């Protein structure tokens, strides 16, 4: 695969290339995976996505393999231990928000039957198929991410601003933001 066949943001690092080629933009309907991306996207705020991808295994260990029920029960002692873990970004607000978000995530699951049903309602249950010619054409947020963010905040979620939620939509395949010349854009349109 040639560099020219991929989105330009991923071509400088093997971790990015693997993530781009195998995960980014693939529709996710599994609640555990959706919770994982919610934690990781929140942790990414203000940092590069590559920084988070390089610490992904650390997040898996620190956050009970993204088991939402376990994370929701984290005690203050457990949070303090996580804040000492060099395998993650040790930001107090971000770590605490993961626990807060786990509790809110469970409430959403109880109300809607799954987080998947809830989150995908913002795109009417379909992938938004964009046709971005260049990376500059990709917006940092959209009307859908604005609405999603407001609703999540109303439900008690933290670190779920519109830009973070648009990145979440891209990561979980709610939108296809691969540029049109990227081989994944074509594959994910099928």
**Active site amino acids:** 19, 41, 49
CA separation (Å) from 181 to 5, 77, 119, 184, 190?
A: 6, 49, 28, 9, 15
Residue 155: half-sphere exposure toward Cβ, Cα within 13 Å = 25
Length of the chain: 190
Burial class of residue 46 (count of CB atoms within 10 Å of its CB; 0-12, 13-18, 19+): exposed
Token pair belonging to 73: 């029960």
Strands (E), the chain: 128-129, 175-176
CA separation (Å) from 113 to 2, 93, 118?
A: 43, 29, 8
**Measured distance CA(20)–CA(142) in Å, rounded:** 21
**In 3-state terms, the chain is what percent helix, strand and coil (to 5)?**
60, 0, 35
């Amino acid at each position: 695969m040639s560099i020219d066949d991929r989105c330009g943001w991923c071509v400088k690092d093997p971790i990015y290339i693997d993530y781009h080629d195998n995960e980014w933009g693939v529709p996710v309907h599994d609640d555990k995976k959706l919770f994982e991306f919610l934690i990781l996207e929140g942790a990414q705020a203000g940092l590069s996505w590559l920084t988070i991808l390089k610490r992904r295994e650390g997040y898996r260990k620190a956050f009970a393999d993204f088991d939402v029920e376990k994370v929701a029960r984290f005690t203050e002692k457990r949070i303090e231990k996580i804040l000492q873990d060099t395998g993650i970004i040790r930001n107090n607000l971000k770590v605490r928000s993961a626990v807060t978000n786990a509790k809110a995530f469970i409430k959403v699951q109880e109300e809607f039957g799954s987080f998947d049903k809830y989150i995908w309602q913002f795109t009417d249950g379909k992938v938004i198929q964009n046709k971005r010619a260049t990376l500059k054409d990709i917006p940092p947020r959209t009307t859908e991410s604005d609405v999603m963010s407001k609703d999540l905040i109303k439900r008690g979620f933290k670190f779920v601003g519109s830009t973070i939620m648009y990145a979440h939509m891209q990561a979980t395949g709610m939108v296809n933001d691969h540029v049109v010349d990227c081989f994944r854009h074509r594959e994910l349109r099928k």
